[in-house]
Amino acid sequence: MKSDEQYFDFVDYGYSPKSTDVVCLFRFEPAKRTTIKETIGRIASESSTGTWTTLTKLPTRVKNLQAVSFDVKDNFVKIAYPIDLWEKENVPQFLSGVAGNIFGMKAIKNLRLIDISIPLKFLSNFRGPEFGITGIRNLLKVRKRPITGAVIKPKIGWSALEHSKIGYETWIGGFDLIKDDENLTSTKFNRFEDRIKFASKMRDKAEKETGERKSALFNITSETKIMEKRAKLLHELGWEFAMIDVITVGMSALQTMRDTCHDYGLAIHAHRAMHAVLDRNPKHGVSMMVLAKIMRMIGVDQIHIGTIVGKMSGSKIEVINIKNQITEKKIKENRKNFLLNQNWGSLKPVLPIASGGLHPGLIPNVIETLGVDIGILVSGGVHGHPNGTRSGAIACMQSIEATMKNIAVNEYANSHAELQLALKKWN
């Protein structure tokens, strides 16, 4: 037997996947002197039962647990994984398989996990989002327009009191949510406990003055036990959300926090800081859509998906695919758009969050492309308004109003001074 032939065992062009199989779509580039058949066999082998050499005397069970590369076209391959490979409710194990060692093998120059079709049998081990889009709209009493939020800027540096005062201005300007930045947790100049206490007072005042529901996305990201304490504190002060940097905390911590937040009645805002380390290179790594699917499965209630028009990378097709995956009940296979079949069963939809470099002039574009069932975060584009935070929030709300009324923002600005100033600065 030649050294690579053992991998051929993991290739079966005639295989048709079972409804319980996990099916992955990969894009691959073999290294020099590696054939396509060896490459796709290696991917299936290393991500399931194989190793780099032949072994003797294996029980039939092992054969039955093998992944199968069954459909290859150009540089794309579909691989089916039997359900029994996977431990129920264990996301780290799942990723150690489908997104593990295979990405580091010398025989494969580049490898991209584009999509995973997760069978209902595996999905049913997970609770999915607790609130979902409807639940969040109910929490905030916002029915029709996009939900609005602003990260307090600069990202880090304000004291807890200063932070909450800027929050108050944001709320009074008409926003539903204020949000911590991804790298703000608890520092000596802005302790988490102080921040949420000061903000509670400001929230009560803003709610009284506006008659609207006001809330916040406070970043509880930390070691898991500390996150649990912070979630409890949020609950005790009557907050509705906990924000988690879902990639940096890791899947295991997030799974724990999904349940903790459920116990405290908190919706989870998923910030995706560090996702680009995994998904930015289009030839290698794991797509953001796969990460977002995992997040829906675990059960976050809202997650950043990109804006297309703002400052962060993410093409139109990528952002729309992510949006559809986290909001729809069923996705139909479409190879041209890099999609496999996905049935989400009873898992609720996640609220897509558009954020990054937005300002009132870009809001119409975001709504036209992504619809109204989204959260829009505008931060620099609020606090950087020439007349300050409150005017910045007002300008964004005016931009949303104009868009919902089908009026061009430039026209609306003629009778709305805050919007006019914002457009002058940023357009």
**Which residues are tagged catalytic?**
153, 271
Question: What residues does 331 pair with on adjacent strands?
Answer: 342
- Tell me how far apart the alpha carbons of residues 369 and 383 are, in angstroms, rounded to a whole number: 25
Q: What is the DSSP letter of 370?
A: H
| Min CB(103)–Mg ion separation in Å | 27
160 binds, among Mg ion, ligand CAP, none (CB under 5 to 8 A by kind): none
| Min CB(186)–ligand CAP separation in Å | 18
Is residue 279 within a helix (H) or strand (E), and if so which, with residue range?
A: helix 275-279
- Tell me how far apart the alpha carbons of residues 94 and 122 are, in angstroms, rounded to a whole number: 10
Which residues in the 175-204 window bind Mg ion by CB under 5 A? 181-182
78: Cβ–Cβ under 8 A, 6 or more apart, which residues? 17, 23, 24, 25, 26, 69, 70, 71, 72, 340
> Which residue number places its CB atom closest to Mg ion?
181
- Tell me how far apart the alpha carbons of residues 413 and 175 are, in angstroms, rounded to a whole number: 19
Among residues 17 and 360, whose Cβ is nearest to ligand CAP?
360
| Min CB(12)–ligand CAP separation in Å | 39
312 binds, among ligand CAP, Mg ion, none (CB under 5 to 8 A by kind): ligand CAP
In contact, 9 and 64? CB cutoff 8 Å: no
**Residue 174 CA: distances (Å) to CA of 87, 158, 370:** 46, 22, 22
- Residue 276 found at the interface with Mg ion (CB under 5 A): no
Among residues 181 and 401, whose Cβ is nearest to ligand CAP?
181
Half-sphere exposure (Cβ direction) of 11: Cα atoms closer than 13 Å: 17
Among residues 181 and 212, whose Cβ is nearest to ligand CAP?
181
| Min CB(21)–ligand CAP separation in Å | 32
- Tell me how far apart the alpha carbons of residues 352 and 375 are, in angstroms, rounded to a whole number: 6
Among residues 62 and 317, whose Cβ is nearest to ligand CAP?
317
Size of the site for Mg ion (CB under 5 A): 2
> What are φ and ψ of residue 192, in 5° steps?
-50, -45
Binding site for ligand CAP (CB under 6 A): 151, 153, 155, 181-182, 272, 304, 306, 311-312, 355-358, 377-381
356 binds, among Mg ion, ligand CAP, none (CB under 5 to 8 A by kind): ligand CAP
| Min CB(273)–ligand CAP separation in Å | 7
Among residues 377 and 413, whose Cβ is nearest to Mg ion?
377
Residues near Mg ion, by CB under 5 A? 181-182
